[in-house]
Chains A and B, each alone.
Chain A
Amino acid sequence: GQQLNQSPQSMFIQEGEDVSMNCTSSSIFNTWLWYKQDPGEGPVLLIALYKAGELTSNGRLTAQFGITRKDSFLNISASIPSDVGIYFCAGQLGAQKLVFGQGTRLTINP
């Protein structure tokens, strides 16, 4: 079945540092989505990518849809305490279902 490998599983950084995480798959996806989940809440959509090579920003967040359509990355610049949480990538392949990565848990030391 389709699987997404998300890395790293966890990150411990200092406030102000930049963050980078990525997802790879053995399958080609038509859409990549990035979500953030805070404790006790549902995943919140951060960025949606629809075209191979597409680079999209949302404030301090930047995400790219890989040229091969099998990968995507998310960067966070100048991290702040409220960036703490779990980040998920999700890929869509034609059908209506999303395939989710295992998540990257971000911890920030002030």
Chain B
Amino acid sequence: DAGVIQSPRHEVTEMGQEVTLRCKPISGHDYLFWYRQTMMRGLELLIYFNNNVPIDDSGMPEDRFSAKMPNASFSTLKIQPSEPRDSAVYFCASRRTVFYEQYFGPGTRLTVT
């Protein structure tokens, strides 16, 4: 079975540019989570969706960050405008309702110069 798919794997952009990260959850999973990982702060939950509906976005750093899930097989995390402090690895994870086990994608390493 295919795992969580993320694209791109690496993104290098200049400050002020818009960045869009993409995620395809595991088929049949109805929860989707976006995380950010940095050396200083570890793994931080940004937002999660249940059945395509955003449930908790309290971890989103600021209004420059937005996330959507237009259907059960696709989600995006957008940063506009990007700043150097947004440089991090962004992970998407998914799970089924009945289990708490989250499965992570390979991540997108974002570098903002």
Q: Considering the chains assembled together, what is the distance between the CA atoms of A28 and B91 in angstroms? A: 26
A110 at the interface (CB under 8 A from B): no
Interface pair A96/B101, CB less than 8 Å apart: no
Instruction: Using C-beta atoms within 8 Å of the partner chain, give the interface range for chain A.
Output: 20 to 34
A11 at the interface (CB under 8 A from B): no
Q: Considering the chains assembled together, what is the distance between the CA atoms of A30 and B102 in angstroms? A: 15
Kindly provide the distance from the CB of B73 to the nearest chain A CB, expressed in whole angstroms: 18
A65 at the interface (CB under 8 A from B): no
Kindly provide the distance from the CB of A72 to the nearest chain B CB, expressed in whole angstroms: 14
Interface pair B42/A103, CB less than 8 Å apart: yes
Q: Considering the chains assembled together, what is the distance between the CA atoms of A43 and B4 in angstroms? A: 12
Interface residues of A in 92-110 (CB under 8 A from B): 92, 96-98, 100, 102-103
Q: Considering the chains assembled together, what is the distance between the CA atoms of A60 and B56 in angstroms? A: 37
For B62-99 the 0/1 string (1 means CB < 8 A from A) is 00000000000000000000000000000101000001
Evaluate whether A96 and B42 lie within 8 angstroms (CB atoms) in the complex, with A41-B106, A45-B101 already known.
no
Please tell me which one of the listed residues A30, A40, A88 contacts residue B43 in the complex, with CB atoms under 8 A apart: A88
Kindly provide the distance from the CB of B92 to the nearest chain A CB, expressed in whole angstroms: 9
- Which label, helix, strand, loop or mixed, suits the secondary structure of the A interface? strand
Q: Considering the chains assembled together, what is the distance between the CA atoms of A43 and B93 in angstroms? A: 10
Number of B residues with CB within 8 Å of any CB on chain A? 21
Please tell me which one of the listed residues A44, A92, A103 contacts residue B100 in the complex, with CB atoms under 8 A apart: A92
- Nearest to B102 among chain A residues (CB) is A98
Please tell me which one of the listed residues A30, A42, A92, A97 contacts residue B106 in the complex, with CB atoms under 8 A apart: A42
Interface pair B43/A100, CB less than 8 Å apart: yes
Complex contacts, A31 vs chain B, CB 8 Å: 100
Complex contacts, B43 vs chain A, CB 8 Å: 43, 88, 100
Interface pair A100/B104, CB less than 8 Å apart: no
Interface pair A41/B48, CB less than 8 Å apart: no
B25 at the interface (CB under 8 A from A): no
